[in-house]
């Protein structure tokens, strides 16, 4: 009997963890999807008809067992990369991803160089 109770508690605990994860994932996906008919809003922030439909589609895709990436692939295939707030990494936008790092490294070199130069003068 005790074993059954433990099993039930474990099952309930495990299923609640799973459902909590799903809610988190779903919200994260909503936040990364642009509402195409709104002004700068994600579908998480919008109650528009389009946002509501997309939320239902995302829910269906999650229920079908699709991963976050697969959902983004599906929707960007239908609406283009514009629908994603976080752009995908590809040839067209690699500068967008790397430019901040390039600037950071270049800035670091300049600072190091200036410090060295100053210390030489002193």
Partner 1 sequence: MRKTIKSITLIVLIFILGVFFISLNKSTDYNTEHLIGNKLNKIKFESLEHKKIFTEEDFKKNNYTLINFWASWCAPCRIEHPILIKLSKEQNLKILGVNFKDKKINALKFLKDLGNPYDYLAKDTSGKESVNYGIYGIPESILIDNKYIIQKKFIGPLNLKDYDDILEVINSL
State the CB neighbour count (10 A cutoff) for residue 52: 13
117 binds partner 1 (CB under 8 A): yes
- How far apart CA 100 and CA 52 sit, in angstroms, is 35
* Minimum CB distance to partner 1 smaller for 29 or for 54: 54
Within 32-71, the residues that bind partner 1 by CB under 8 A are 36-37, 49-50, 53-54, 56-57, 60
**Least CB distance from residue 27 to partner 1, whole Å?**
19
Binds partner 1 by CB under 8 A, chosen from 6, 10, 11, 82: 82
* Minimum CB distance to partner 1 smaller for 25 or for 48: 48
- How far apart CA 86 and CA 48 sit, in angstroms, is 21
Express the helix, strand and coil content of the chain in percent, nearest 5 each: 75, 5, 20
* 90 within 8 A of 47, measured Cβ to Cβ: no
**Least CB distance from residue 12 to partner 1, whole Å?**
32
**Least CB distance from residue 52 to partner 1, whole Å?**
8
Helix (H, G, I), strand (E, B) or coil at 45: coil
* Minimum CB distance to partner 1 smaller for 7 or for 103: 103
* 90 within 8 A of 75, measured Cβ to Cβ: no
* 27 within 8 A of 44, measured Cβ to Cβ: yes
97 binds partner 1 (CB under 8 A): no
Using CB under 8 A, list all residues that contact partner 1: 36-37, 49-50, 53-54, 56-57, 60, 75, 78-80, 82, 103, 106, 110, 113-114, 117
């Amino acid at each position: 009997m005790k074993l059954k109770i433990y099993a039930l508690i474990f099952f309930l605990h495990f299923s609640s963890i799973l459902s909590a994860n799903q809610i988190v994932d779903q919200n994260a996906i909503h936040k990364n999807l642009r509402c195409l008919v709104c002004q700068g809003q994600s579908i998480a922030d919008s109650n528009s008809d389009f946002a509501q439909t997309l939320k239902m589609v995302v829910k269906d895709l999650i229920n079908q067992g699709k991963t976050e990436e697969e959902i983004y692939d599906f929707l960007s295939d239908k609406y283009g990369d514009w629908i994603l707030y976080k752009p995908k990494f590809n040839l067209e936008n690699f500068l967008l991803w790397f430019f901040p790092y390039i600037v950071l490294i270049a800035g670091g070199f300049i600072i190091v160089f200036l410090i060295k130069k100053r210390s030489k003068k002193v």
